[in-house]
Amino acid sequence: APGEAEVQELCRELERYLGWALELCGGRVVLDTLFASDRRRDDEYFESLHEFRGKALRGHLSRAKEALRRVLQQHKNADTMVALMKVYEEEDEAYQDLVTMATQFYQYLLQPFRDMRELATLYKLEILKSLQYDNLGPKRVAALQKDAEEWTKRAESAVCSIQDITVNYFKETAKALAAMHKQMEQDQERFGKTSWASALPRLENLKCMLAKETLQCLRARELCLKQKRAGIQKNMENLSEQEENLTVVEELEIHYYETQLELYNVQLEVLKHEEMLLIAQLDTLRRHIKEKQDEVVYYDTCENPEELKVIEQTMGQHYANLSEMTMLRQKTKQLETKRGTVCARRAYLRNKKVQCEASHRQRLQQAEESKKRFLQHHSIQIKRDKQKEEEKKKKAWISQERQKTLERLKTFREASTKCPPHVVLKTSHPQPLSPKLPRSIGSSKAKLGTIVIPSHPLSSRTRAAPEQPKSILLVEAKESKASHHNTPGDIPVQIFVNDGDTEQQKHSKELMISSSSPPPQHP
């Protein structure tokens, strides 16, 4: 038999083997192989190629983000401008890898929706062509029109999904550029103006790239909001002019105003970043103009005619530089004109936004006032409706209780019919019920000490059962309301007496008369 050390070694090897199997094959395959009672099909263990590609691309994108983050953390270790420029080169490469991976991943996400958009557009065109040229019946035309509307909705849904995915892509790239730009501005504070001059073109280029990516993201978001606004307008047009649809129209109007305000905010952000892009381009042009102006041309004395030719060539370069400066100044004027146009559009949009906000507040106030007016005018009707509802609930409860009572009576009657014809119950008090009773009745009651109850239920009034012989008499003595003294003779008594005992019937009648008559007044 193996020793304890060998067993421990085998257990460790088995643990390592199962760990590697779990990591390579997955938990499902390992558990099904070891513990499954029935073997499944092998197809269930294979991963979908589509999902596998998506996971791989998502993993590549995550690794690219992590690589860029590590490069950004290396800026603190760069003490010299040369080391910092090397870090910038690594950062540019990491950003390009990030853009490549993000493009592949989001293209993978976009492909199904693009296919759906193309397919829906193709089917819609085929249906419209069939409706235009084919001779079809009314039912077929209605069915094709319904199919065309369905494919149109699918195409619009695919377009909305494409726009959302595009917004997410530009958010990723703009976020990375914003982090790079922020880090570069922090680096600028650590170096002087002269040493930072070599990194200044990269900073300007980074500003332009950030503005462009942010503009792309905002424009994609603007398209999404316009699509949403068009959907609200379409819903409002499809509603009929009926009183029950007025509240729906009011809600849609409020949503429309909210969407329009959000659209104005996005458009203002677009103009803001357009201005930032123009400012970055203007800064670059002005820097180039300043560099051209700072260039110094030295002319030496000429001793022979050949040197004059060299001077003419130098002057030609100088004139070329002057023409280039003229072109730079013209571009600067054009960019300044565009900036003025952007500022004018921003002012116009601000005014439109203020008007829309005022209309939105007014619409909300009108909705609140109409709601209050409705509550004031219809409060009585609302109370009446509540009372009617409460009465309905009460009637329903009463009918339910009556039904339950009838069911209990029915059950009791069925149970009583199944009982024997007579049931004898012993009385707990063998004494006479009233001192006014004769001794013969009291003694007979004391001797008998029983009450005979018929097998069928009796009513509260004095009556003989129609099915039984006249052998039972029910006497009910009611309490006199005119009496002011609570005497033992005033207690109601129910006595069941046999039909053959005539003396007891007489005494019972006397008892009924005495209990109904007022007590004698003593002088």
Lowest mean pLDDT among 42-56, 96-110, 443-457, 492-506: 443-457
Q: End of a domain among 145, 171, 191?
A: 191
> Is residue 413 assigned to a domain?
no
pLDDT in tens, 240-296: 665 566 778 888 888 888 999 999 999 999 999 999 899 988 988 888 888 877 776
In 295-378, alpha helices (H): 305-377
Neighbouring-strand partners of residue 425: 451
Helix, strand, coil percent content, the chain, rounded in steps of 5: 75, 5, 20
Which pLDDT band holds residue 125 (cuts at 50, 70, 90)?
A: very high
pLDDT score recorded for residue 241 = 62
Residues 385-408, mean pLDDT to the nearest whole number: 90
Render 149-160 in DSSP notation, one character per residue. HHHHHHHHHHHH
* 73 and 180 both lie in a single domain: yes
Asked if residue 159 and residue 285 are part of one domain, the reply reads: no
Provide the residue count of the chain.
523
> What angle do helix axes 81-133 and 138-188 make, rounded to 10 degrees?
170
Residue 503 clears pLDDT 90, i.e. is over it:
no
Could you say which of 379, 399, 414 is where a domain stops? 379
Q: Which of 379, 397, 430 delimits the end of a domain?
A: 379
Mean pLDDT of the chain: 77
3-class SS of residue 250: helix
pLDDT digits (tens, 9 = 90+) for 288-331: 888 877 776 665 666 666 766 666 666 666 656 667 778 888 88
pLDDT, greater one: 29 or 90: 90
d(CA 196, CA 16): 56
Listed range (23-37, 170-184, 193-207) with the worst mean pLDDT: 23-37
- Residue 61 maps to a domain: yes
What separation in angstroms does the CA of 122 have from each of 4, 126, 157, 324?
74, 6, 15, 53
pTM: 0.58
Q: What is the pLDDT of residue 435?
A: 44
393: phi then psi, degrees, rounded to nearest 5:
-65, -40
* Residue 503 included in any domain: yes
Give yes or no for residue 442 having a pLDDT over 70: no
Give the C-alpha separation, 31 to 167, whole Å: 42
Is the pLDDT assigned to residue 175 strictly greater than 70? yes
Give the span between the Cα atoms of 332 and 1, in whole angstroms: 93
Region of poorest pLDDT, from 137-141, 210-214, 307-311, 502-506: 502-506
Same domain, 360 and 258: yes
Asked if residue 161 and residue 109 are part of one domain, the reply reads yes
501 band by pLDDT with thresholds 50, 70 and 90: very low
Percent of the chain past pLDDT 70, that is, above it, reads 70
Q: Are residues 60 and 173 in the same domain?
A: yes
Q: How far is CA 315 from the centre of its chain?
A: 73
Burial of residue 20 (number of CB atoms within 10 Å: 0-12, 13-18, 19+): exposed
Q: How many CB atoms lie within 10 A of CB 206?
A: 23
Question: Mean of the pLDDT values across residues 116-123?
Answer: 93
Are 168 and 283 contained in the same domain? no
> Is residue 55 domain-shared with residue 184, that is, in the same domain?
yes
Q: What is the pLDDT of residue 137?
A: 85
Give the N- to C-terminal CA distance of the chain in Å, as an integer: 122
215: in domain: no
Q: Is the pLDDT of residue 362 over 60?
A: yes
Amino acid at 10: L
* The predicted structure's pLDDT at residue 329: 86
Q: Domain for residue 385, yes or no?
A: no
358 and 460, same domain (yes or no)? no
The domain spanning residue 284 has which CATH number? 1.10.287
Helix, coil or strand: residue 390? helix
Assess whether pLDDT exceeds 80 at residue 430. Answer: no
Enter the tokens of residue 16: 């390592």
Residue 340: inside a domain: yes
Total domains, the chain: 4
197, amino acid identity: A
Contact 144, 136 (CB under 8 A): yes
Same domain as 53, residue 38: no
Would 372 be classed as within a structural domain? yes
Judge whether 463 and 472 are in contact, CB under 8 Å: no
- With CA atoms as reference, report the closest residue to 160 among 101, 221, 75, 204: 221
Q: Which of 516, 522, 515, 517 is nearest to 437 (CA)?
A: 515
Asked if residue 79 is part of any domain, the answer here is: yes
The residue segments making up the domain with residue 462 are 422-480+487-516
Q: Domain check: are 8 and 57 in the same one? A: no
Give the CA radius of gyration of the chain.
51
Residues 356 and 284 in one domain: yes
Tell me: do 57 and 111 sit in the same domain: yes
